[in-house]
Structure 1
Amino acid sequence: MAHNHHHSHSHTDLKGKNLIISILLNILITVSQVIGGLVSGSLALLSDALHNFSDVLSLIVSYIATVLSKKKASTNKTFGYKRAEIIAAFVNAATLIVVAIILIKEAIERFIEPMEIESNLVIWLSILGIAANGFSVLLLKKDAGRNMNMKSAYLHLMTDMMASVAVLIGGLLMKFYQMYWVDATLTLAIALYLIYMGYDLLKESTRVLMLFTPNTIQVQHIVETISKIDSIKNVHHVHIWQLNEDEIHLEAHIDFLQDIKLSEFDLILDQIEEEVFHKFGINHVNIQPEFGKCDVKQIIVQD
């Protein structure tokens, strides 16, 4: 089985230093908000602290995954740790949803039993959360656009910054208008937003972990493209999957019209690689050549 690939994927510097800074800032916010929430009685502040704590854990997971992803492959880990960041993205997306469910439960309980809240402390601590999370968001924004792991960490921080803005608005309304029900309402709104943001990332990372074909690729189009090459009779037994952010793999069996030489096959393989890379972004190609072999000729075959 012939195998080749384009060395076109860049190994992006994922700014581990920025992750560490963000971790330290979120530890500071979490401790401050837990103390402030207990003193003031603000559920929104305590829920924001819980979310910040989940941020700390998610950032630690992201940092570990970033470090692991740079480790080299070995005889018992032939892909190395390239999927570590996808696992981190999945875990972080799942925690967003779990935290959201906890917040919904707490918000409902506070609706049933409302209580007066020390709004001044809520206001100042929410400002601290906005500043620290806002700075962390800026640190991770560049890498979030090109890496699923960093996107998961970025989403945790972005949603937490927005939560702090909501808590600030709630604190001001409670201070000047005694609208204490706003605390539980904002908690509920934050939770629903977390579910909304976490679901897409959870679905995306699950697709990669399950080796599903990327949404941007149509298998039939690839088969048709390869089949147009002279001397190719049939393309079947196709597998396409995304290993990580940088690598999309194609594996297929190809029937040839004639019993060609190995050197001729190499030229055809080069042509296939160029076609699928430039048209579909596939940078790892693994082809099994066949001539007159009696096997299943379906495009998709369950191994």
Structure 2
Amino acid sequence: MPMILIKGSYLIKGFEPDGDTIRFLPDDPTLWSKVPGGVKVRDGGASLRLDGIDALETHYQGVGPEFAHQPLDLGAHAARNVLLAWLGFTDVQRGGDEKVTSATPETVSGYILASGADKFGRCVAFVGRGTPDPDAASGTSVMVTVPMVHQTANHELLSRGLVYPTFFSNLPEELRVDMAATARQARATKAPDSVWANDVTHTGAVIEDLGSLTDQLVILPKLFRSLADYLRLFGPSLDAFPAFLAGKDDEYFFSDPRFTTKGLQHVVDVIGNTVKLRPAIEDIVFLEK
């Protein structure tokens, strides 16, 4: 599937970038109209969701009046810091709300390979720095190859084990297969600063309360978001968590897109206060809603 190459600049001052989300301003903002799905644009720029990966949450709101986060010192801040440094930002200063107050330089040039927009209006993209190789005119539809993906921040974060693989149906199969292999290698390596060093998604997360999620347990962010919402709505008992998952709109397949399953309750085990995802996350492909 071709993607839209757009050249421009990353900017972080006044925003809350994390390990898989950052602000991008095209040199020509009219090119947003070429991205399928309807990108939500403000002042010419838009929020990007890095394709194929999911970083630990640093400021998730969901149903709560206040933001929740995953363990900040066990990977949430590491992914964000590496993304910004890889792009070229230094001396990044933040307020207590995770918002960037200053950075050097204020903007960094780069490019994105955009496949579409998600339901929140974020542009789903591969994120590159400098000039793409091979180069093409901004706004051009290009066929993205595995070597091109290896030049992006998406691959950098995934190969270092700083983020989880999380695949949606818009991601071409060739790229998905390569990213899955990259994720498996990172999980096998279990670098000390990686999410895999402390991950309990597949071994079982023992959840006492919301604090278990925010301060202690490293789990797949997609599962964290559902658990955080459930706990804030219904309290510590997980008895109704499978029903809660059934009420969400997650639809996915494993190898054949013709055969989809609705609801993560089919692949998530809940035994007492322990939650475990059975299949490897890189084997699941979610339908983009």
Q: What interval of TM-score do these two structures reach, taking the shorter chain for normalisation?
A: under 0.3
Q: TM-score, normalised by structure 2?
A: 0.23
Query: Counting helix residues as a fraction of each chain, which structure ranks higher?
Result: 1
Larger strand share, 1 or 2: 2
Larger Rg over CA atoms: 1
